[in-house]
Amino acid sequence: QQQVKQSPQSLIVQKGGISIINCAYENTAFDYFPWYQQFPGKGPALLIAIRPDVSEKKEGRFTISFNKSAKQFSLHIMDSQPGDSATYFCAADRLGSARQLTFGSGTQLTVLP
C-alpha cells in the first residue's frame, strides 16, 4: 500500500521554465512533508519542508504548495536550471512519534540547457 503517491515519474523542462511535481497522501496523521533532492551516486538531501499549518512555503526558487483538504502537496521549481536535474522525492511523516519517513516514488527531473 503506497501511502504517498508522486507524479510524474519523469519530467523534462527547458532552462528557465517551471518544474511542478505533485504528491498525494492518504494518512491524515501525517503532519510533516519534506522534499528531498538526490543526485546520481549521492544520498538524498533535504530541499524544503512544510507543516500543514501553512499553505505555502518558499525558499529561493523552490516553493511547496500544500492543500490539506485535498491531501495534496506539490513542489514548484521556478527558473529551472540544468543543475536542478536530479531525482526529487516527496515524503510524509508524523511528528511527536517515532519518525518514519514515507517516501513517494520519485520524479526524475531533466532541465535542458
The DSSP 8-state label assigned to residue 78 in this structure reads: S
β-pair partners for 77: 19, 62
Scanning 10-18, 20-28, 33-41, 73-81 for contacts with other proteins by CB under 8 A, the matching segment is: 33-41
CA distance 55 to 2: 24
Scanning 21-29, 37-45, 54-62, 68-76 for contacts with other proteins by CB under 8 A, the matching segment is: 37-45
Give the amino acid at 42. Answer: K
Judged by the rule CB under 8 A, the positions of this chain that interact with other proteins are 32, 34, 38, 41-46, 49, 51, 87, 89, 93, 95-101, 103, 105-106, 108
